[in-house]
Structure 1
Amino acid sequence: MLRTGDQYRNSLRDGREVWIDGKKVKDVPNHPIFKPIVDIRARIYDMAHEEKFNDKLTYTDEKTKEKNCVGSKLPKSKNDWLVKREAIKIITYEVGAIVTRMGDETAGEMWSLYDGTDILNEVDPRFGDNIANHIQKVLKSDTFHVSANTDPKGDRSKLPQDQDPDMLLHAVKETDKGIVVRGAKYETAAAYANQAFVKPTIANWGDQKLSNYALGFICPMNASGLKHICRSGFAGKSNPEDYPLSNKADEIDTLLVFDNVLIPWEDVLFYQHTKAATFIRGTLHRYSALAFVERILHMADLMIGTALHNVRQTGLEHQQAVREKIATLICYREGIDAHLTAAITNAEESPAGLLMPNQSFLYTGRVHACSQLHKMIHIAR
């Protein structure tokens, strides 16, 4: 299935409880802080229906014969990865901004769970089918899927239960319908996404084999008892000509507060077993890191273009010191591209039969891209 931009906008009018700047948001798609980034996400949906982009952003499912988004396709060949890379580039250039949360990167986190199904079933066999079902759901519904990842910053030298009981996310009870959870998570784009993969706490488990803090599940962003408390945005607060990107592509960060939220059993991916939580945290980005690093590659392109425009405008393009700085930016960019290319060229079959990017090249590229980014921003300035 391929959604339209309007279908996406309407899906956000689902009764979700969103707060920003101390005020409750009545209509997320039209709120001045959210509208620019929602419009970008809607534009991405609409691109898939246009003749100019359709063959690059979609594929036809062999079984259902339906067209789906290439970002959500399970990768089984090197060409699948090359197509995904090209799709990110096409979208980035069309919307004119670097958008890190598009859904393709968080779909990859679900593929990591798919790889670990056998291990997770050894720990607890109740939820294996849920993983495969939700992967197919993302494909068939074209939903905007993100992930609730980061914990509020407590004292990580302590066990989760030895801290503020309402801070770290945990199950408070079980019912016939599912588990009831309480606590908080941070996530970018949650307020204008449809659902999130809520990941396990990064915790000091000690010798515990079971913990109510060790859980992972899928949660709709309009779930009863779920509150979105968003940071203030940049859109509309300054002249768009002076701040074109922050006015257009500010991806709003959200504190998700789960106030006794019921998670149905069919949406639970693992529960209570600390071994499962540790495994997931260790393998989570084996696919999704590629999409994130690809975004940083285009950040590098943006910096190089901006720097070249500046030096040509000021007549400095032939000065040796300036040329060396431009060359440093180019080397940074090409280093990222080389690692991504090598990760795909040397990809290997995963436990579930997917094609997994070479982990050494992928993670080395990720470190290169992230650890040097601030230095490249300084040079571009």
Structure 2
Amino acid sequence: MGLRTAEQYKSSLRDGRAVFFRGERVADVTAHPVIGIAVEHAALDYRMAHDPKYRDLAVVKEGADEYSRYYHVPQNGDDLLKRSRLIAAATREGATLVVLIKEIGTDAILALHIIGEQLAAAGKPEYRERIRNYYRNCRDNDLAVAVAQTDAKGDRALGPTQQDHPDYYVRIVEERPDGIVVRGAKVHTSVATNTNEVIVLPTRAMRAEDQAYAVAFALPINTPGLKLLASPHGSSHKNDFEHPISARHKMMETLTVFDDVFVPKERVFLQGEIEFAGLLALTFVRFHRFTAVSYKLPLLELMAGAGHAIAEANGISRAGHVRDKLTHLAAYHTTVRGLIEHAARSCTLEDGVAVPNTLLTNVAKYHFAHNYHQAVQIVQDLAGGLLVTGPAAEDLTSEATGAYVLKYMGGAKGFDAEKRLRLLNLIGDLTSSDFGGYQEVLAVHAEGGFEAEKLQAYREYDFKTVAAYARKLAGID
């Protein structure tokens, strides 16, 4: 098929998929008042591929063939930098909300490439061939692909087989000559309502008794028995004036249920090989945290830019404490950007795939997540209480109230009431709305929480060498 248009992408979503919103089945996700916003947001990826401004970045040419850069298997640091810049550009077009319609799926495909080679080396080349065929299908048909990894888990202190019921983790319940049947559920599956495929990965290392849970596969979203329960968070009606970001940009999250779903053999990538389950989970994370930091960069740009703009509008930009706060925002953004660029440049080649530096990627992700709430605090401090007490859009246009808004809501010279309110509403949408709360929760939990990032950084750091240096200077053999 080659590169699809936005309209072709949207048309592909009308396929009878089982999507539920507030308990009711959705007949057409493209026409739904909430999910339809997420569809239009995701279509940005397809529009960018045909936009002369982005085409050289968004599209890879190999002879007469063209395909999305997301599907390009990186061979070096330059490939990873271009991937990162495309993710950031798409997020910038999405007004700081990541598109994720191909980013996360290709993170999983890159991880599967590496694990497929290792499975082949272990005497199971059939998995490698299935992964390669699946990759080519997604690339050549320009598919949108979600990833379902996090299991429902139940009691987190217990393993999969120790739970009150066996379906808190997705598992194989039947093996057939032509495939497997799976049951269970995954949580916070991003973009699944408006994607073409979903890749399912293990969420943890498995023990011998967990063999049925060591499973990875891919399915079309309209597969019988696959059900998507869409989260209603942030679904209230919004206008562009008060919510300039979230009125037009949205990403859906789902509880993804596998109700005895049949998976054809050619789409099974792991079937009981417990020694590869944890490795696949961690390899996916190595790519996905790189994606995560890349898509956070426009958000940090906006934090610094909005902080500076509102300080000017409020007439406080020359105050010493304000310059100090703006410097903090600038340093925050610059540090995260520098770390992820260095992670790309210091990549390693593993089984034919360039992998971002894992230590730097995790340090970048931790630095972002650990400091995000402080950045929100700074921008809210610079903006003032009008973030939550200001007049409505209707007050500005009403004959009864408009004159008062225009008279009293102005700011420093050059910032009339409407300009100042637009800045305040932008910051309010970003930091004090349900969208702002969504971003704050993502900062803590998306792509792995604080402890996961710290643990991975601890594992990757070369303590042996630096401890030897310390012992040498201390005069210890």
The structure having more radius of gyration, on CA atoms, is 2
Distance 1:224 1:341, change over 3 A: same
SS at match of 1:127: helix
Matches within 5 A, 1:122-271: 122=122, 124-163=124-163, 164-186=165-187, 187-202=189-204, 205-206=206-207, 208=208, 211-235=211-235, 237-271=237-271
The alpha-carbon distance between structure 1 residues 93 and 297, as it changes in their structure 2 partners (threshold 3 A), is closer
Q: Which amino acid aligns with 1:101?
A: L
Paired AA for residue 374 in structure 2: K
Q: Is the 8 A contact 1:123 1:273 kept in 2?
A: no
Is 2:107 the partner of 1:108?
yes
Aligned-pair distance for 1:247? 2.1
- Letter of the 1:250 partner, please give it: K
Q: Indicate if the aligned counterparts of 2:105 and 2:147 stay in contact, CA closer than 8 A.
A: yes
How many Å separate the matches in 2 of 1:189 and 1:43? 13
SS of 1:286's partner is helix
5+ residue gaps, structure 2: 381-477
Partner SS for 1:241: coil
Secondary structure of the residue aligned to 1:299 is helix
Structure 1 residue 79 displacement after superposition? 2.3
C-alpha spacing 1:173/1:139, structure 2 compared with 1 (3 Å): same
SS of alignment partner, residue 183 of structure 1:
strand
Contact 1:233–1:250 (8 Å) recurs in 2: no
Q: Percent identity?
A: 28
SS at match of 1:74: coil
Structure 1 stretches (4+) deviating beyond 6 angstroms? Answer: none
Residue 3 of structure 2 aligns to a residue in which SS?
Answer: coil
- Whether the 8 Å CA contact 1:201–1:214 is kept in 2: the answer is no
The two structures have a TM-score, normalised by structure 2, of: 0.75
Match of 1:290, SS? helix
TM alignment of 1:351-370, pairs within 5 A? 352-370=351-369
- Counterpart residue identity of residue 47, structure 1: M
Which residues of structure 1 form unaligned runs of 5+? Answer: none
Match of 1:282 in 2: 282
For residues 310 and 123 of structure 2, the distance between their equivalents in structure 1, rounded to whole angstroms, comes to: 57
Match of 2:39 in 1: 38
Local SS of the residue matching 1:68: strand
Aligned to 2:436: none
Instruction: Give the conservation status (yes or no) of the 8 Å contact 2:161–2:210.
Output: no
Distance 1:380 1:157, change over 3 A: same
The answer to whether the 8 A contact 2:74-2:354 is kept is: yes
Give the Cα–Cα distance (whole angstroms) in 1 for the partners of residues 297 and 93 of structure 2: 16
Normalized per residue, the structure richer in strand is 1
Distance 1:307 1:379, change over 3 A: same
Query: SS of the residue aligned with 1:87?
Result: helix
8 Å CA contact 2:41, 2:250 repeated in 1 = no
- Cα displacement string for residues 291-311 of structure 1 (whole angstroms, at most 9, x for unaligned residues): 210111111011111111211
Say if 1:259 and 1:161 are closer, same or farther in 2 by CA, change over 3 A: same
TM superposition shift of 1:348: 2.0
Q: Is the 8 A contact 2:41 2:249 kept in 1?
A: yes
Matching residue's letter, 2:195 = A
Instruction: Please tell me whether residue 57 in structure 1 is matched to residue 64 in structure 2.
Output: no
Alpha-carbon contact 1:210-1:273 (below 8 Å) kept = no
In the alignment, residue 368 of structure 1 is paired with which amino acid?
Answer: H
Whole-angstrom distance in 2 between the partners of 1:93 and 1:114:
29
Q: CA deviation at 1:177?
A: 2.1
More displaced 10-residue stretch of structure 1: 157-166 or 245-254: 157-166
Whole-Å Cα distance in 2 between the matches of residues 125 and 151 of structure 1?
Answer: 28
Give distance in 1, aligned partners of 2:128 and 2:75: 21
Q: Does 1:16 align with 2:21?
A: no
Contact 2:88 2:297 in 1 (8 A): no
Q: 2:228 is paired with a residue of what secondary structure?
A: strand
Aligned residue pairs total: 376
Q: 1:377 Cα shift?
A: 1.7
Residues 35 and 257 from structure 1, CA distance in 2 versus in 1: closer, same or farther, beyond 3 angstroms? Answer: same
The more displaced of 229-238 and 308-317 is 229-238
Could you state the TM-score of these two structures normalised by the residue count of structure 1? Answer: 0.93
Greater helix proportion: 2
- 2:285 is paired with a residue whose SS is coil
1 CA distance for matches of 2:235 and 2:244?
9
**Range moving further from structure 2, 320-329 or 124-133:** 124-133
Which whole-Å CA distance do the structure 2 matches of 1:124 and 1:202 have between them? 21
Q: 3-state DSSP class of the match of 2:88?
A: helix
Cα pair distance change 1:324/1:32, threshold 3 Å: same
The amino acid of 2:294's aligned partner reads E
Tell me, yes or no, if structure 1 residue 74 matches structure 2 residue 52: no
Which residue number in structure 2 is paired with residue 377 of structure 1? 376
